[in-house]
Amino acid sequence: MPVSRNIVFDFGGVLMKHDREGFLNGLRQLMSDEEIANILGIGNDKDNSLRARFETGTIDTRGFIEQVLRT
């Protein structure tokens, strides 16, 4: 079985079209709406979200994944 060596985060739908509602519904099975908002930058604190820190290079991919897994 092939092993993936890379993960591509395409939050903005640049590389492919996303089922955003399906994605959010899947996340809701794993975490609260507040946790999702903190990760994705939904709501008032967009600039300090995990997504914003990842996109601006404040944290790297490993840090992003570790933070998501801690949630």
Domain count, the chain: 1
| Assigned domain for 14 exists | no
| Assigned domain for 62 exists | yes
Provide the percentage of residues in the chain whose pLDDT is more than 70.
89
| Assigned domain for 12 exists | no
Mean pLDDT of 18-44: 83
Q: What is the mean pLDDT of the chain?
A: 81
Inter-CA distances, 46 with 28, 39, 71, Å: 19, 9, 17
Full domain range(s) for residue 55: 23-70
Mean pLDDT of 26-38: 87
Given pLDDT bands bounded at 50, 70 and 90, which one contains residue 34?
confident
| Assigned domain for 43 exists | yes
Check whether 11 has a pLDDT greater than 70.
no
| Assigned domain for 44 exists | yes
| Assigned domain for 55 exists | yes
Identify the residue with better confidence: 62 or 47. 62
